[in-house]
Amino acid sequence: MNNNYIRIDNVDINSPYDSKPVDIEVAKRNRSRLIIPLFLILIFMIIMSVYTSRQLKNVSVSNITEVGEDRIHSVSAQLENYLYTTKSVTWVTADTVEFMTRNGSSSKQILDYLTEESERQAAQFDENYTGIYGYIKGEYLDGVGWEPPADYKPQERDWYITAKEANGDTAIVPPYVDAQTGNVIISISRMLKNGRDVISMDVRLNYIQSLMDELKLKGKGYGFIVDDTGLIVAHKDEDKKGTLINDEAHGEDFFHEIKRVGNGNFTYIRDGVRNIVFVNEIMDHWYVVIDVSEKELYAETKSQMFVNMIICTVIFVMIAIFYYFGYKNEKNYARRMEKMKMEERKQEYETKMLKIEKDSADQANRAKSVFLANMSHEIRTPMNAIIGMDEMILRESDDENIKRYAKDIQSAGKTLLSIINDILDLSKIESGRMELVQVRYEFSSILNDIVNMTMNKAKDKGLKYNLEVDPNIPSIMFGDEIRIRQIILNLVNNAIKYTAEGSVSMSVSFDKVYRKLVVKVTDTGRGIKKDDLDRLFNSFQRVDQTANRNIEGTGLGLNITKQLAEMMGGDVTVESEYGKGSTFTAELVQQIVDVTPIGDYTERLKESMDSKVEFGPTLLAPNAKILVVDDNEMNLMVISELLKVTKIKVTKALSGEECIDILREDSFDVILLDQMMPGMSGTDTLKVIKDENLADATPIIALTADAIVGAKEIYLKEGFTDYLSKPIMYEELESTLLRYIDSEL
């Protein structure tokens, strides 16, 4: 059998202390719960960063292409504008000279004009216009006054030859080093209509060269201008000006590609590096070019992409960290929850165990109580016979010795009964089934009973019996009359029991503020040692055993008394001086029904004592008939014998059935009906009697050996007229019958 299971009523209680095997599967599942989402996030981030990088590259490529083309067009436009202006000036000047020639102007006049015009152009436009000159009517005329060397033949110069080739159009002469200034210049020439004279204007390339600074992309790369023949007109690197592009490292293919593209861009690889080239063809088949390495161009984009990657990585790491902590928190939370659940299970288990323990204790207690109740019943029934018969002996015997023996039997019988009652009470208190039965009662009647039951005992021991009753005690109160009597009686009886000489005093008062009945019982007896005071109220505790050896007792009385007082919202306390005496105080909370003060009780008691007649039978009713029903013949005999003195006619029935048979034939003044009978119980019999109206006017008194609390109320509720508990004491029997039968005494 598994030791972790406790089998009770077929219910398995799984101990929470069971050590469970570590669930590897669960641990693996938890790990994969962390890793899979992170892995997915990582994949997502990679896709995202690749995608954004590509997008970024695409955007920047199209952006750069746009910017590149914008730039080149803007520079081209400036250049074209410059060249156009220059051409226009040349054109107009040539027209004017042609006009002047035709009109017969002299060479001197034409030279003056050229001089004037040269100055004007330089002033109006740009210092780059170096001057206007020409070959007119077989003579070289120079607007800035340059004197050519003797061997200078204009017809052999490029400016003349180019103009001639252009055939009346304005032509740009490729750059050359000016013999005069050493500057690189271009000439713009035009031949006059006579096919002989040429007007030309020199323009320094400084302006065009200055445009090279603008031929860049975002400050990267370099620009140059090349003409149709591959001659470099302007170049970022000034030394290259006037050289042929084919001499460049680019090679011939590069120039072909420029010419092929014309307007647009292309890429090529140089020294293992990809370059992007923007080209724009302008007038006279000049090509404006920007050449930039992609590496340089995209360096920014690349660093942007790199930053992107870093940001993505940082975000991923942060997500991973947050996720990890979240996961850890969740794990801790789950662990805490698990711990809480474990605690709950533990508590549940403990509660169940406690319940089981309580149930079994209750069960044992119930069994004990049932046993005690049965025992008490079983003992009471023969006690009924013993006490009843003993009463008969006392009454009928004339032998003094026999009477003394009978008295001893009577006293022992009463002690035995009180022990049974105490044990029964204690078992009820311990099993929590002791209940107070609250009724209206007259306090003076309780006092009467106590005085009646104790005064003679004290006097017999030679003790002074003092009674002090506060006249202001409310006359009628509400509470458990029987238990109050029991409490006070126990204290007074103890005082008498444990006092050899001196006095026993009872003082009773009522605390109106707290509604407490305060009963103080003081004696001049043996007292109690200080050390014993604490355990005095424990059950089965008798203190000072040696001194009390000869005094009968069980050690239950004070325990029951205190517990009953506590049930009433009060307490029992003790003060004592060893060897001198003790004072027991009972404080009992009671409700007031009638505030009328009880008055001078002691005075009334004295009067009644004085007028009290000697004991003798008070009931004599020779005409009365009673029916006694009990399954025990001895009991029947006891009652009929006890009632002999009353001369009442007693009819006996041994069962409920017999009782009913008799009642069908006869009628009685009182019926005494035993409760516990085999076959029909007293209650069953009563029901038939009532149902069949067999004894409507007859008081039916319940007889029972069950000394349970509230028994009287229960039987009255069931329809009985009155209640008598066994063993039946004659005084009680007589006083009960007196309520229903008229005595002739």
Q: How far apart are CA 670 and CA 639, in angstroms?
A: 13
Q: CB under 6 A: which stretch of 15-23, 253-261, 491-499, 592-600 binds ligand ADP?
A: 491-499
Q: What are phi and psi of 431, to 5 degrees?
A: -90, 5
Closer to ligand ADP by Cβ: residue 79 or 528: 528
Q: CB under 6 A: which stretch of 256-264, 337-345, 538-546, 647-655 binds ligand ADP?
A: 538-546
Q: CB under 6 A: which stretch of 239-247, 275-283, 537-545, 609-617 binds ligand ADP?
A: 537-545
Q: How far apart are CA 554 and CA 540, in angstroms?
A: 6
The answer to whether the Cα torsion of 386, 390, 393, 396 is positive or negative is: negative
CB atoms within 10 A of CB 205: 20
Of 160, 224, 441, 498, the residue at the interface with ligand ADP (CB under 6 A) is 498
Q: CB under 6 A: which stretch of 19-27, 108-116, 541-549, 722-730 binds ligand ADP?
A: 541-549
Closer to ligand ADP by Cβ: residue 190 or 526: 526
Q: State yes or no: residue 494 binds ligand ADP (CB under 6 A).
A: yes
Q: State yes or no: residue 421 binds ligand ADP (CB under 6 A).
A: no
Closer to ligand ADP by Cβ: residue 217 or 492: 492
SS3 assignment, position 597: strand
Question: Which residues have C-beta within 8 Å of that of residue 498, sequence separation ≥ 6?
Answer: 523, 525, 526, 548, 551, 582
Of 428, 542, 652, 712, the residue at the interface with ligand ADP (CB under 6 A) is 542
Task: Supply the DSSP symbol for 568.
Answer: T
The residue assigned the tokens 């030279």 is 111
Q: How far apart are CA 320 and CA 162, in angstroms?
A: 75
CB atoms within 10 A of CB 422: 20
Q: State yes or no: residue 554 binds ligand ADP (CB under 6 A).
A: yes
Of 16, 251, 555, 617, the residue at the interface with ligand ADP (CB under 6 A) is 555
Closer to ligand ADP by Cβ: residue 180 or 583: 583
Q: Could you tell me the two tokens for 364?
A: 């044992």
Q: State yes or no: residue 30 binds ligand ADP (CB under 6 A).
A: no
Closer to ligand ADP by Cβ: residue 542 or 726: 542
Closer to ligand ADP by Cβ: residue 431 or 505: 505
The residue assigned the tokens 């293919």 is 253
Closer to ligand ADP by Cβ: residue 108 or 549: 549
Q: CB under 6 A: which stretch of 73-81, 359-367, 550-558, 658-666 binds ligand ADP?
A: 550-558
Q: Are the C-beta atoms of 93 and 201 separated by less than 8 Å?
A: yes
Rg (CA), the chain: 70
Q: CB under 6 A: which stretch of 40-48, 353-361, 384-392, 536-544 binds ligand ADP?
A: 536-544
Q: How far apart are CA 317 and CA 323, in angstroms?
A: 10
CB of 498 to ligand ADP, least distance (A): 4
Q: State yes or no: residue 458 binds ligand ADP (CB under 6 A).
A: no
Of 217, 463, 536, 680, the residue at the interface with ligand ADP (CB under 6 A) is 536
The H or E element containing residue 321 is helix 299-396
At position 479, the amino acid (one-letter code) is G
CB of 453 to ligand ADP, least distance (A): 16
The residue assigned the tokens 């009906």 is 673
Q: CB under 6 A: which stretch of 19-27, 45-53, 166-174, 539-547 binds ligand ADP?
A: 539-547
* Count of residues near ligand ADP by CB under 6 A: 21
For helices 443-460 and 601-610, give the axis angle rounded to 10 degrees: 60
CB atoms within 10 A of CB 200: 27
Of 87, 520, 526, 726, the residue at the interface with ligand ADP (CB under 6 A) is 526
Q: State yes or no: residue 528 binds ligand ADP (CB under 6 A).
A: yes
Q: Could you tell me the two tokens for 203?
A: 């323009």
The answer to whether the Cα torsion of 189, 190, 195, 196 is positive or negative is: negative
Q: CB under 6 A: which stretch of 307-315, 543-551, 590-598, 711-719 binds ligand ADP?
A: 543-551
Q: State yes or no: residue 630 binds ligand ADP (CB under 6 A).
A: no
Question: Which residues have C-beta within 8 Å of that of residue 299, sequence separation ≥ 6?
Answer: none
Q: How far apart are CA 395 and CA 391, in angstroms?
A: 6
Q: State yes or no: residue 636 binds ligand ADP (CB under 6 A).
A: no
SS3 assignment, position 286: strand
Of 502, 553, 597, 710, the residue at the interface with ligand ADP (CB under 6 A) is 553
CB of 447 to ligand ADP, least distance (A): 19
Closer to ligand ADP by Cβ: residue 131 or 527: 527
Q: State yes or no: residue 416 binds ligand ADP (CB under 6 A).
A: no
CB of 377 to ligand ADP, least distance (A): 23
Q: State yes or no: residue 316 binds ligand ADP (CB under 6 A).
A: no
Enumerate residues 560-619 that contact ligand ADP by CB under 6 A.
Answer: 582
CB of 583 to ligand ADP, least distance (A): 9
Closest residue to bound ligand ADP by CB: 553
The H or E element containing residue 481 is helix 481-497
The answer to whether the Cα torsion of 302, 304, 309, 314 is positive or negative is: positive
CA distances from 535 to 419, 500, 519, 531 (A): 20, 23, 22, 8
Q: Could you tell me the two tokens for 319?
A: 């997500």
CB atoms within 10 A of CB 267: 10
CB atoms within 10 A of CB 176: 17
Of 208, 417, 558, 659, the residue at the interface with ligand ADP (CB under 6 A) is 558
Q: Are the C-beta atoms of 126 and 86 separated by less than 8 Å?
A: no
Q: State yes or no: residue 556 binds ligand ADP (CB under 6 A).
A: yes
Facing residues of 201 across strands?
A: 132, 188
Q: State yes or no: residue 538 binds ligand ADP (CB under 6 A).
A: no
Closer to ligand ADP by Cβ: residue 526 or 712: 526
Of 294, 523, 587, 669, the residue at the interface with ligand ADP (CB under 6 A) is 523
The residue among 142, 144, 145, 165 whose CA lies nearest residue 154 is 142
Q: CB under 6 A: which stretch of 98-106, 211-219, 261-269, 552-560 binds ligand ADP?
A: 552-560
Which residues sit at the interface with ligand ADP, rule CB under 6 A?
A: 494-495, 498, 523, 525-528, 536, 542-544, 548, 553-559, 582
